Amino acid sequence: MPTPRPGEAKLPHLFQPGRFGRFEIKNRIKYGACCVSNYNTRDGFITEREIARMKVIARTGCGIITNQGAYPDPLGEGKAYFRQVAIFDDKFLPQFERIAADIKANGAMAIQQILHAGRYGGIDLGYCIQPSDVPQTLPHFRPPKIMTKAEIADCVRQHADAARRAVRAGFDGTEVTSFMGYLLANFNSRFTNQRGDEYGGSVANRGRFMRELIDGIKQATPDNPLVVRLNGAELMDRWGGNTEDECFELMQQAVDTGVDMISVTVGWQEAPESSIGRDIEPGHWNYLSERAKKLFPNTLITFGNRLPDPRMADGCVRDGVFDYWEVCRPLLADPDLVHKAAEDRLDEVRRCIGSLNCLSRLFRDLPYTCTMNPALGHEVEPEYQVTPAAVKKKVMVIGAGPAGMECAITASKRGHDVTVFDKAPRIGGNLHAYAVHDLARPDDLLSVVQHYETMARKLGIAVRLNTEVHAKFMRSVLHEYDVCVVAAGAGIDRSRFAHVEGAAKMLDALDVAHGRVKPKGPRIVVIGGGKIGLTLAESLRKRDGATVTVVEADKRIAGDVKPSFKWRHAAWVEELGIECITSVTLVRVADDGVTVREAKGGERFVAADSVILTAAAQPAHALLHEFEWMVDELHGAGDALIPRGLEQAIQEGFRLGVRL
């Protein structure tokens, strides 16, 4: 037996061996399929881009690795995403064989997920199939076609054939999923299954399709384990979905039919509640897994919804909450998470912050990417690899926010001598300021800052805080640096409102966010309904008890917020009673409030004791112009170029760092 690594000794339950069917598993960590990547071809073939991504996943150190969901039917009724992989024919197997072999070569058990999307499928067909004619609640999905009994039987056969095919390709087992409201969930749920025959009505009848599916796959692959992903909670009460008790009745049916492992999941795409976003406290859903483990002690339970911390997972295995920690997005954010945990380097982990950039892109039929991992999806490209620099350079980075620190860390890993300058007293830039006002999970956003602080210290990056870099300063260090990276973020451009009467009375959003200025009085107007304005408005309302009104020029608020989080801001605004006035132009700012002009020309007065300007972001172009003739290489990154978001700042900083 090899000597445990220091982190393994601290997390003994997570790193203890296990069994799954006839297979020995090296630890209690299962990589979840993470839906699909959209890296593949429109006709279902796996690409080299996907092969390269899975090579990284195969090396994560997980004991079980699940390949992404493949649709099993030749018509494509089960196909949910434009570039989803297919497994309905032997012609697809060569690439599956490569993935299975690579997973097993790295000491993990290989599982292939079969994903028939049902209500969310038929993306190339213009219709979807489901148990009953239940209209879509989301307009981008296709109108439903009711499955006949013959089609149900065909679907079961197609799943069994797909499982048999996966095992032939070298996978050790298979998985079917109801997660997010796919076909299995459609039959199980009262919401979408309103049939009057033996496949609908009672919980027992609604579970018939699942039981036939399990039985069909077990008969097709009797020597290979089967995982079923089942909802512990649908979160579909608004639409008349299953109760939690009904969800667990369905799990009992799966156990009785002989399933080898249950992956407990939460939520549908249509659910009006969050299940995995950063507004959910880590560990919030653990009670569902714990209930499953108590009800089904002889069936393996795997779980990982909003559970990014290996230490918490170790405690869950110890306490019998689940048998295997199922990890997906945390390993997209940091593929070295398991190794860092084993080596007692958890302080270096790039935490999944639950921003759901992955799902936002996937639901727009784009390949998924990760806010925290700029290399995700680019593993096949040499340009995204951190390699030793051909020439060692002295690099100065202006700005210790995400773009600057990402560039500094990446450049330092390549061997450059890096110094970071920032006029603030701490690392983090504007991210730190907005994080402390975030109503979702400030700790998630602040973990990004903590990661940068840790890596700067461990890599020996010099960080000069309380130091403003301007033309005079640059002249004082002339020719000391080979490269200058301007990553100074964005400020508030007051000049865009210079024509507004009384504009000087408005407070700068950054001054408020950083705590340099405190708004006066109980009534506050925020000019700008983007993510900065909403974050401040929500914080001032909930934490300070202020009466807040948001004034926005566009028709809707949250225009620059990720699609997967727009609803969250809308819900907070409603819950907190924040009035949002849209399609208006600011006319006047006075001591007692603001006057706005409505689209039809009328004017409206809004009382206020303080007015905060958030709507005019100003990039650091002036620094780029000032430094143009002062340094050999001059670059910009992040909001200093174009004010956008955290994802763009991190990705641009990284991409610049790998090529300096």
Residues 107 and 65 in one domain: yes
The reply to whether 637 falls in a domain is yes
Q: Work out the pLDDT band at 48, boundaries 50, 70, 90.
A: very high
Tokens 């195969």, located at residue: 58
How far is residue 239 from each of residues 234, 542, 638, measured CA to CA in Å? 10, 30, 42
**Spatial separation of the C-alpha atoms in residues 131 and 151, rounded to whole Å:** 10
**CB atoms < 10 A from the CB of 194, how many?**
16
- Residue 381: CB partners within 8 Å, gap ≥ 6? none
> In the prediction, which pLDDT does 307 show?
93
For the segment 440-468, what is each residue's pLDDT rounded down to a tens digit? 889 999 999 999 999 999 999 999 999 99
Q: What would the mean pLDDT of 628-657 be, rounded to a whole number?
A: 96
Tally DSSP H helices, then E strands, for the chain. Answer: 22, 27
The reply to whether 200 falls in a domain is yes
The reply to whether 428 falls in a domain is yes
Is the model's pLDDT at 1 over the cut of 70? Answer: no
Is the model's pLDDT at 132 over the cut of 80? Answer: yes
**What's 636's DSSP letter?**
E
404 neighbors 420 (Cβ within 8 angstroms): yes
543 neighbors 572 (Cβ within 8 angstroms): no
Residues 345 and 457 in one domain: no
Q: What would the mean pLDDT of 543-571 be, rounded to a whole number?
A: 93
Q: What is the mean pLDDT of the chain?
A: 96
For residue 437, what is the domain's CATH number? 3.40.50.720
The reply to whether 373 falls in a domain is no
**CB atoms < 10 A from the CB of 604, how many?**
13
**CB atoms < 10 A from the CB of 16, how many?**
16
Dihedral angle sign, alpha carbons of residues 137, 198, 176, 17: positive
**Spatial separation of the C-alpha atoms in residues 459 and 337, rounded to whole Å:** 19
Side-chain half-sphere exposure of 252, counting CA atoms within 13 A? 11
For the segment 226-259, what is each residue's pLDDT rounded down to a tens digit? 999 999 999 999 999 999 999 999 999 999 999 9
Largest Cα span, the chain: 83
Q: Work out the pLDDT band at 220, boundaries 50, 70, 90.
A: very high
Q: Work out the pLDDT band at 358, boundaries 50, 70, 90.
A: confident
Strands of the 603-607 sheet, one edge to the other:
584-590, 593-598, 603-607
> In the prediction, which pLDDT does 659 show?
96
81 neighbors 123 (Cβ within 8 angstroms): yes
**Spatial separation of the C-alpha atoms in residues 303 and 290, rounded to whole Å:** 10
The reply to whether 374 falls in a domain is no
How far is residue 43 from each of residues 46, 124, 219, 362, measured CA to CA in Å? 9, 10, 29, 17
For the chain, how many structural domains are there in total? 3
**Spatial separation of the C-alpha atoms in residues 20 and 261, rounded to whole Å:** 8
Helix residue ranges, H only, 11-147: 48-58, 93-105
**CB atoms < 10 A from the CB of 364, how many?**
11
**Spatial separation of the C-alpha atoms in residues 157 and 284, rounded to whole Å:** 37
Residues 68 and 47 in one domain: yes
Residues 261 and 350 in one domain: yes
The reply to whether 67 falls in a domain is yes
pTM for the whole thing?
0.95
Q: Work out the pLDDT band at 10, boundaries 50, 70, 90.
A: very high
* CB-count exposure of residue 431 (10 Å: 0-12, 13-18, 19+): buried
Long-range contacts, stretch 51-54, CB < 8 angstroms, 24+ apart: 51/95, 51/98, 51/99, 51/380, 52/379, 52/380, 53/376, 53/377, 53/379, 53/380, 54/99, 54/102, 54/103
Residues 642 and 628 in one domain: yes
Three-state SS string over 549-566 comes to EEECCCCCCCCCCCHHHH
Q: What would the mean pLDDT of 188-212 be, rounded to a whole number?
A: 98
The alpha carbons of the chain give a radius of gyration, in whole angstroms, of 27
Tokens 């000491």, located at residue: 107
Residues 585 and 467 in one domain: no
Residues 117 and 253 in one domain: yes
Is the model's pLDDT at 4 over the cut of 90? Answer: no
Residues 299 and 403 in one domain: no
How far is residue 493 from each of residues 149, 498, 552, measured CA to CA in Å? 64, 10, 16
For the segment 261-320, what is each residue's pLDDT rounded down to a tens digit? 999 999 999 998 888 888 899 999 999 999 999 999 999 999 999 999 999 999 999 999
For the segment 566-590, what is each residue's pLDDT rounded down to a tens digit? 889 999 999 999 999 999 999 999 9
For the segment 577-625, what is each residue's pLDDT rounded down to a tens digit? 999 999 999 999 999 999 999 999 999 999 999 999 999 899 999 999 9
Question: How far does Cα 117 stand from its chain's mean position?
Answer: 20
For residue 140, what is the domain's CATH number? 3.20.20.70
Residues 179 and 191 in one domain: yes
Token pair recorded at residue 195: 């049939």
The reply to whether 367 falls in a domain is no
Residues 214 and 92 in one domain: yes
From the list 90, 91, 112, the residue with the least C-alpha distance to 101 is 112
**Spatial separation of the C-alpha atoms in residues 509 and 526, rounded to whole Å:** 9
**Spatial separation of the C-alpha atoms in residues 514 and 507, rounded to whole Å:** 12
**Spatial separation of the C-alpha atoms in residues 249 and 296, rounded to whole Å:** 11
- Residue 658: CB partners within 8 Å, gap ≥ 6? 383, 384, 385, 386, 387, 410, 414
**Spatial separation of the C-alpha atoms in residues 642 and 649, rounded to whole Å:** 10
For the segment 465-504, what is each residue's pLDDT rounded down to a tens digit? 999 999 999 999 999 999 999 999 999 999 999 999 999 9
Q: What is the span of the domain harbouring residue 576?
A: 492-618
Residues 480 and 510 in one domain: no
The reply to whether 1 falls in a domain is no
Is the model's pLDDT at 429 over the cut of 90? Answer: yes
**Spatial separation of the C-alpha atoms in residues 484 and 81, rounded to whole Å:** 42
217 neighbors 158 (Cβ within 8 angstroms): no
From the list 165, 159, 21, 20, the residue with the least C-alpha distance to 97 is 165
**CB atoms < 10 A from the CB of 95, how many?**
18
Residues 445 and 416 in one domain: yes
**Spatial separation of the C-alpha atoms in residues 527 and 365, rounded to whole Å:** 33
Is the model's pLDDT at 165 over the cut of 90? Answer: yes
| DSSP letters for 493-559 | -GGGGTTSBTGGGSEEHHHHHTTSS---SSEEEEE--SHHHHHHHHHHHHTT--EEEEE-SSSSS-T
How far is residue 362 from each of residues 39, 268, 359, measured CA to CA in Å? 10, 15, 5
For residue 545, what is the domain's CATH number? 3.50.50.60
Question: How far does Cα 469 stand from its chain's mean position?
Answer: 35
For the segment 134-151, what is each residue's pLDDT rounded down to a tens digit? 999 999 999 999 999 999
SS3 content of the chain, % helix, strand, coil (to 5): 35, 20, 45
> In the prediction, which pLDDT does 274 show?
85
